Structure 1
Amino acid sequence: MEPVFMLGKFTKVIDYFSDMGVPPQTVEPLSTQFKLLSLNPSDILLAQGSQQDYGFFIMSGILRACHYGENGLERCKEFYFKDELCFLYSSWLQGLPARYQIEAITAVEVIRIPLNLLALPSFSQAKVTLLQQQLIFKEQKEALLLLHTPEQRYQHLLQYWPHWLAKLNNIQIASYIGISPVSLSRLKARIKS
């Protein structure tokens, strides 16, 4: 049995799944499979090219999914913040090696959750909810990148995700909205004046 203090740490995960329709009494016994991890900036949770077996519920800090090309080019797919469940949906659904690396960009505390739980019949509603959320988010990101100018993309972050701007540096923000850090600096200066 998990010590009481650990079960207390896992309460947020139990509540997270409960909000998706999985009763706490279903999740609590499975919490023995959860593991609390503390990471430093640049620590890797999932290496690019590895098989993905776990998702990571973020208690504190920021994670990112990033692809590293052979020429050293870095492409940031996504950032993940507190109270989010981080994993690569496509790799998980297809059972393929990860095309992205999941890594800490700040000091992070996460709860590692086996993704095989989502295959259990008792987690089917959570699986559907997660897939719906991911589809909506993916469509929104595609629209942001394809239908808007760089200035509109930045304005979108200002309006809807100001916590991103407060916690990420210019290089990270520029990479996400598809412009260079120099272009971002110019854009920010233009918006201020």
Structure 2
Amino acid sequence: MAQRLVKDALTSFGECLRLLGLGDDECTEALSLAKCIRAPRGEILLHQGACQEHGYYIVDGILGAQHYGDCGGLFSKEFYFEGELCLLYHSLLTCDVAPYQLEAATDVTLVRFSLAQLKQASWQPVLIALLSQQLLYKEEKEAFLLLKRPEERYLYLVNHRPMWVERLSNLQLARYIGITPVSLSRLKARLA
């Protein structure tokens, strides 16, 4: 990977950590331990049922958290875009195996970091900030899925997360919204 790309990726990751409350010395140490990597579309970064050891800062591309059911069903828990941290909070807090698989939904450039760092006392402001963000996001997502009809869910994404509609496939969007791709196509045609 080009030296300039690695430097820019680490700088962006450092800015993210500082915004979350990490001190300068701890940030410098975190950047020295982090690794910039690339993963092609479809590469699995964390297998469902494995122990999560790393988190990822997304420099470019999209990661997805997917659950593969016993009967062959695939459920999309979440998608993560540029500038976001990707980790499975339940696994982090309980040390249980991951119920989801983290995989590259597109070609991605990532900064990989050890989740053990989040357990250090100096990282507590970061952990609290991340947990607060996650709690709010979970509440919003529950309302999104429980209180809105599929058409309202789609329109919410169009109006509030247009990048999702532009960059995810119909299949990915349909799984996230909780409908079939055929239903999504019909919905889009009706709204057009």
Pick the TM interval, shorter chain. Answer: over 0.9
What secondary structure, in the 3-state scheme, does the structure 1 residue paired with 2:134 have?
Answer: helix
Alpha-carbon distance in 2 for matches of 1:98, 1:131? 17
- The match for 2:49 is 49
Where does 1:26-105 land on structure 2 (aligned, <5 Å)? 26-105=26-105
Q: Check the 8 A contact 1:22/1:125 in 2, yes or no.
A: yes
Aligned residues: CA RMSD: 1.3
1:13 to partner: Cα distance: 1.1
TM-score, normalised on structure 2?
A: 0.95
Q: Structure 1: where are the runs of 5+ without partners? A: none
CA deviation map 1:37-88 (0-9, x unaligned): 1111100000000000100100000000001112111011000000100010
State how far apart, in whole Å, the 2-side matches of 1:149 and 1:171 are. Answer: 18
Q: Which residue of 2 aligns with 1:187?
A: 187
Instruction: Give the C-alpha shift of residue 31 in structure 1.
Output: 1.7
Query: What is the alpha-carbon distance in structure 2 between the residues aligned to residue 173 and residue 8 of structure 1?
Result: 30
Q: CA deviation at 1:92?
A: 0.8
Residues 92-131 of structure 1 mapped to structure 2, 5 A cutoff: 92-131=92-131
Give the CA deviation at 1:26.
1.8
Distance 1:5 1:171, change over 3 A: closer
Deviation for aligned residue 1:23: 2.0
Offset at 1:32?
A: 2.1
User: 1:15 — aligned with what?
Assistant: 15
| Deviation readout 1:133-169 (Å, 9 max, x if unpaired) | 0011111011000001111000100110000000001
Aligned-partner Cα distance in 1 for 2:81–2:13: 14
Question: Contact (CA 8 Å) 1:7, 1:31: kept in 2 or not?
Answer: no
Identical-residue share of aligned pairs (%)? 42
Cα distance in 1 for residues equivalent to 2:4 and 2:70: 46
Distance 1:7 1:120, change over 3 A: farther
Comparing 7-16 and 141-150, the one that deviates more: 7-16
Q: Aligned in 2, Cα 1:165/1:50: closer, same or farther, shift over 3 Å?
A: same
CA distance in 1, matches of 2:8, 2:180: 43
Alpha-carbon offset, residue 30 of structure 1: 2.6
Q: Which residue of 2 aligns with 1:173?
A: 173
- Structure 1, 71-80 or 18-27: larger mean CA deviation: 18-27
Contact 1:54 1:112 in 2 (8 A): yes
Alpha-carbon offset, residue 5 of structure 1: 7.0
Alignment-mate amino acid for residue 53 of structure 2: D
1:120 Cα deviation after fit: 1.2
**Structure 2 residue ranges without an equivalent (≥5):** none
- In the TM superposition, residue 25 of structure 1 has moved relative to its aligned partner by 2.6
